[in-house]
Amino acid sequence: MHNPCPNTSCDICKSPSTCTLNMLGIGCRGNVVNVGGDTDVRRRLLEMGFCNGAMVEVVRRAPLGDPIEFRLRGYHLSLRGEQARHVQIASA
């Protein structure tokens, strides 16, 4: 498998096949494979649509890198990096 992102800005990921959402660069995308965190955080992320198999793409980051805007299931949403680190994705 290859890096979840077609461009080289995502080479910071340690694994060539999976990465946490907060590590991806702009334009990178992949499918959700796991959602972690404590019960409340996990439930909130699942309610927002971060379910296994969902395609997610990084649209842009704030000037200081946080929050991060994502495209997911036809809409845009923003998450703090602390929340995004609980979502693990695999290459699309």
Domains of the chain: 8-91 (2.30.30.90)
pLDDT tens profile 63-88: 988 899 999 999 999 999 999 999 99
pTM of the model: 0.79
Q: How many CB atoms within 10 Å of residue 2?
A: 9
The answer for residues whose C-beta is within 8 angstroms of residue 43's C-beta and 6 or more apart is none
Residue 8 has a pLDDT of 44
R_g of the chain, CA atoms, integer Å: 12
> What does the pLDDT look like over 15-41, one tens digit per residue?
557 889 999 889 998 999 999 999 999
- pLDDT classification of 45: cutoffs 50, 70, 90: very high
Kindly compute the dihedral angle of the four CA atoms of residues 81, 85, 90, 91, in this order, to the nearest 10 degrees. Answer: 20
Percent of the chain residues topping a pLDDT of 70: 82
